[in-house]
Amino acid sequence: MEYPEFKGKTAMASGGASGMALLFLQKMAAEGANVVLVDVNAEAVEAAAEDIRKKGGNAIAVQADVRKYADLERAAKLAVEKFGRIDYLMNAAGGSSQRIWKQSGGFINCTPESIEWGIDVNLKGAVLFTRAVLGQMFEQHYGVIINMGSIDGVTGAMGIDYTAAKCGMIGLSQGTANYGADHGVRSVCISPGPVLTRAAMANMRTLLGRAAEVEEVVNLILYVCSDKGAFITGCNYLIDGGRSCAASRF
């Protein structure tokens, strides 16, 4: 599917050096959008932006920690200075604190530091980045903010801080949709089930018997951002292969 309306627009994403965020920006660039890759890993995000530029796209890289508002404000200002506007923001930075901090034994054995990291990166960063771009979107009277949730934010999971943060992404999307409606700003939460961003995701069961390809989730995000999705705001889209309704089968 082609989206000519993306040409000349500007898309940003946190966690932009890899995974769904990177593919989203790559596809946006291929449609003629300017893209801003934001990631905590300076080397990886610059390499990803350079790859887009080599393929003819307009891309800049910004090293930023989503837990720090000053970093996100700087990223937003750079986007406007370089491209004149911010049309799409994908809040995608995050991950399981227990996996990333290599902690086992369940939530009661997690350190307070890892729990704070989980809430800050998975939720607070999205709130702060939304704050950093909304002024520009209001000025343009146009914008779409995509918040990456998770099936765990709907059904619950043993990683309590992750579940709480991803549930919060639904509330963030609803609140932003209400706040932005009079200014032409939409906001939607996308909550995937298992996605093949990591090989281990293939082990999570779904009604369809497989995990999602990254492109399947990104294609939904592109549709929501496009003119075809212009009536979509304030909702949570589950794209989980039926996992959320299959508890009695697994």
Q: How many Å apart are CA 124 and CA 110, to the nearest integer?
A: 19
φ, ψ (nearest 5 deg) of residue 129: -70, -35
Query: Backbone phi, then psi, for 77, in 5-degree steps?
Result: -65, -40
Closest CA to 41 of 73, 18, 11, 70: 18
Question: Could you give the dihedral angle defined by the CA atoms of residues 150, 65, 101 and 148, in that order, rounded to the nearest 10 degrees?
Answer: 0
Question: Which DSSP string corresponds to 53-68?
Answer: HHTT-EEEEEE--TT-
Q: Can you list the alpha helix ranges (DSSP code H) found in the chain?
A: 19-30, 42-54, 69-83, 97-100, 112-119, 125-140, 152-155, 160-180, 214-225
Assess whether 162 carries a catalytic annotation: yes
Nearest to 75 by CA among 48, 35, 118, 22: 35
Encoded tokens for 133: 């771009």
Selecting among 3, 88, 142, 162, the annotated active-site residue is 162
Q: Where are the alpha helices (DSSP H) in 10-87?
A: 19-30, 42-54, 69-83
Query: 105 in helix, strand or coil?
Result: coil
By annotation, the residues acting in catalysis are 162
